[in-house]
């Protein structure tokens, strides 16, 4: 029989330092992640919100300024309309006096005065008016009013030298005046119309600015809100995924994903800390459960040790008693017996010692059937005491799986001890190591033909602290810890049981290509 020793065998003397350095390594890693998380510039949620509101506010200020400017423009235009109005009034006035003059021969000077005033307004506001109707048109208007003035002055001259001019000349002049006057009125009204249209356009523009800016402000606020809340929601979603992976047993620390830090960074730090503690507790739980299994095994070992010890005692006493009478060969044979029995005792203890040794988690390619065989050896004494036989069936040359040998032995040992406890004296348990139904997976089945698990509790057997054993006998941690270990190995555990007929626990583990 080849003696299998778990893979950590070689590191006997180093186990404490490596376990310690493992712990230190993890602590250092955690410190580094913490530093990286805190190294980024801080941009708190409050500051993010304030910045967002500030931007929206600045935008609103811009809008208000635009509205004020547009209103000011309208005001200016309205003021100017009054000027234009004055101009039109003067021209109307001039024409009314002109008509009076032609009808009654009066008011010619008044007409002239009004014309002068109109011209003055025109000249004073040359720039503004040119802007409305164009410089050419202004010049035309100005020429026209100038001509009108000239004609009126001529008329006035004629009027002063009564009778010096013939009626026909007078008539012709009158016709000219009327024509020019009419033209002047048309132009003035045109100016008025244009100015009114300009005001309308300015008001419409102002209204457009107002309504557009409202729409823009709304869009701007929505996008700012979206940006800020997006940041928050993204972080929450991120932490949701963290929670899921932590629940699945992945305790990799949270690392920086953004260029700045905020309140979520603190949450991340707290979660990292929590994971460290969880890991510590999980390790303690696994260790506690292991110690319990060791306790069970120790009783068996102590019992089994009695046999070689007894053989040695009897042999050395007889050797002592008969030393003088015995032949040399016989003495030698007895001493050889003692040596053999000492070896046997050593072996009984060594498996347990290997398993007891506390060591860091170490993943390596493992032969599952070898591991199960090793576990069976460990439980051999228990089976002897309980009077139970074990059968192991394994597919030859199965691919290997990646795992921690001690932890997996702990899982199989737990299943085997459970199976022994469920079986009655003279019963048997079967261990099958075969490819699992799903590809690239191996399964280990531990089957007993014992009491079975009642239907109403089968869903709870993997719950921590759930036990059917009487108080003080079971911790209720075995299957829960086992499931945790298997989940960490990327596998899963299944149970199938019929009350009174037995149970089958299946461990499914993914194979590895690493050799």
Beta-bridge partners for 214: none
430 neighbors 415 (Cβ within 8 angstroms): no
**Which three-class secondary structure state does DSSP give residue 492?**
strand
Of 132 and 388, the one with the shorter C-beta distance to other proteins is: 388
Residues in 264-303 that interact with other proteins by CB under 8 A: 299, 302-303
Residues touching other proteins: how many (CB under 8 A)? 23
Count how many Cα atoms sit within 13 Å of the Cα of residue 113 in the half-sphere of its side chain. Answer: 5
Give the Cα separation of 113 and 360 in Å (integer). 114
26 makes contact with other proteins (CB under 8 A): no
Among 127-135, 163-171, 317-325, 507-515, which window interacts with other proteins (CB under 8 A)? 317-325
Sequence-ordered list of residues with C-beta below 8 angstroms from that of 238, at least 6 positions apart, any chain: 257, 264
Of 246 and 349, the one with the shorter C-beta distance to other proteins is: 349
Of 310 and 459, the one with the shorter C-beta distance to other proteins is: 310
For the bound state, the minimum distance from the C-beta of residue 469 to other proteins, rounded and expressed in Å, comes to: 19
H and E: helices and strands count for the chain: 11, 7
Q: Burial letters for 416-425: b for 16+ Cβ neighbours within 10 Å, e otherwise?
A: bbbbbbbbee
- The DSSP bridge pattern shows strands 428-435 and 502-510 to be unpaired
Query: Which member of 24, 318, 353, 514 binds other proteins (CB under 8 A)?
Result: 318
Residues 43-82: x where in contact with other proteins by CB under 8 A, - otherwise, as a string: ----------------------------------------
For the bound state, the minimum distance from the C-beta of residue 347 to other proteins, rounded and expressed in Å, comes to: 15
182 makes contact with other proteins (CB under 8 A): no
Residues 386-405: x where in contact with other proteins by CB under 8 A, - otherwise, as a string: -x------------------
Query: Which member of 43, 278, 283, 305 binds other proteins (CB under 8 A)?
Result: 305
435 neighbors 441 (Cβ within 8 angstroms): yes
Residues in 110-169 that interact with other proteins by CB under 8 A: none
Give the Cα separation of 4 and 435 in Å (integer). 22
341 makes contact with other proteins (CB under 8 A): yes
Query: Which member of 5, 21, 310, 501 binds other proteins (CB under 8 A)?
Result: 310
For the bound state, the minimum distance from the C-beta of residue 307 to other proteins, rounded and expressed in Å, comes to: 6
CA 35, 36, 40 angle in degrees (round to 5)? 105
- The DSSP bridge pattern shows strands 492-498 and 502-510 to be antiparallel
Of 279 and 307, the one with the shorter C-beta distance to other proteins is: 307
Query: Which member of 5, 313, 459, 501 binds other proteins (CB under 8 A)?
Result: 313
| Cα–Cα nearest to 411, from 378, 436, 384, 383 | 378
Residues 345-384: x where in contact with other proteins by CB under 8 A, - otherwise, as a string: ---------------------------------------x
**Which three-class secondary structure state does DSSP give residue 348?**
helix
Sequence-ordered list of residues with C-beta below 8 angstroms from that of 365, at least 6 positions apart, any chain: 400, 401, 402, 512, 514, 515
Q: Which residues bind other proteins (CB under 8 A)?
A: 299, 302-303, 305-307, 309-315, 317-318, 321-322, 334, 337, 341, 384-385, 387
């Amino acid at each position: 029989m080849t003696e299998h020793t778990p893979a950590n065998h070689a590191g006997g003397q180093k186990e404490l330092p490596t376990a310690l350095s493992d712990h230190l390594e993890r602590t250092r890693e955690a410190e580094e992640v913490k530093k990286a998380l805190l190294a980024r510039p801080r941009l708190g949620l409050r500051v993010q919100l304030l910045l967002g509101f500030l931007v929206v506010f600045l935008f609103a200020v811009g809008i208000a300024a635009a509205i004020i400017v547009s209103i000011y423009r309208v005001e200016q235009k309205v003021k100017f309309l009054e000027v234009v109005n004055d101009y039109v009034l003067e021209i109307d006035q001039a024409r009314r006096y002109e008509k009076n003059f032609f009808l009654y021969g009066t008011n010619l000077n008044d007409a002239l005065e009004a014309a002068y005033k109109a011209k003055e307004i025109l000249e004073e506001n040359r720039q503004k008016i040119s802007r409305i109707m164009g410089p050419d048109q202004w010049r035309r208007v100005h020429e026209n009013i100038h001509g009108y003035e000239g004609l009126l002055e001529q008329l006035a001259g004629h009027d002063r030298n009564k009778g010096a001019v013939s009626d026909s000349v007078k008539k012709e002049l009158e016709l000219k005046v009327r024509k020019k006057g009419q033209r002047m009125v048309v132009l003035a009204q045109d100016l008025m119309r244009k100015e009114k249209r300009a005001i309308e356009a300015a008001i419409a523009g102002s209204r457009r600015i107002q309504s557009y800016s409202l729409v823009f402000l709304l869009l701007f606020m929505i996008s700012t809100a979206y940006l800020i809340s997006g940041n928050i929601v993204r972080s929450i979603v991120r932490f949701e995924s963290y929670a899921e992976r932590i629940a699945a047993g992945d305790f990799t620390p949270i690392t920086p994903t953004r260029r700045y830090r905020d309140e979520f960074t603190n949450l991340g730090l707290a979660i990292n800390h929590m994971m460290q503690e969880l890991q510590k507790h999980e390790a303690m739980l696994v260790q506690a459960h292991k110690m319990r299994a060791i306790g069970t095994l120790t009783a068996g070992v102590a019992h089994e040790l009695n046999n070689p010890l007894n053989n040695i005692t009897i042999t050395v006493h007889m050797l002592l008693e008969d030393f003088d009478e015995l032949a040399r060969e016989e003495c030698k044979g007895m001493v050889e017996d003692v040596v053999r029995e000492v070896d046997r005792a050593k072996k009984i203890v060594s498996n347990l010692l290997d398993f007891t040794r506390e060591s860091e988690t170490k993943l390596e390619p493992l032969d599952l059937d070898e591991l199960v065989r090793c576990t069976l050896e460990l439980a051999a004494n228990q089976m002897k005491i309980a009077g139970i036989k074990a059968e192991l069936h394994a597919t030859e040359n199965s691919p290997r799986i990646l795992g921690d040998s001690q932890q997996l032995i702990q899982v199989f040992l737990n299943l085997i001890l459970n199976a022994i406890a469920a079986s009655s004296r003279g019963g048997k348990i079967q261990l099958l190591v075969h490819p699992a139904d799903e590809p690239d997976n191996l399964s280990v089945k531990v089957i007993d033909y014992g009491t079975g698990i009642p239907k109403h509790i089968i869903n709870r057997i993997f719950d921590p602290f759930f036990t059917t054993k009487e108080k003080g006998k079971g911790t209720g941690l075995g299957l829960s810890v086992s499931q945790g270990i298997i989940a960490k190995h990327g596998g899963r555990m299944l149970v199938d049981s019929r009350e009174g007929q037995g149970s089958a626990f299946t461990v499914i583990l993914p194979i590895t290509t690493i050799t």
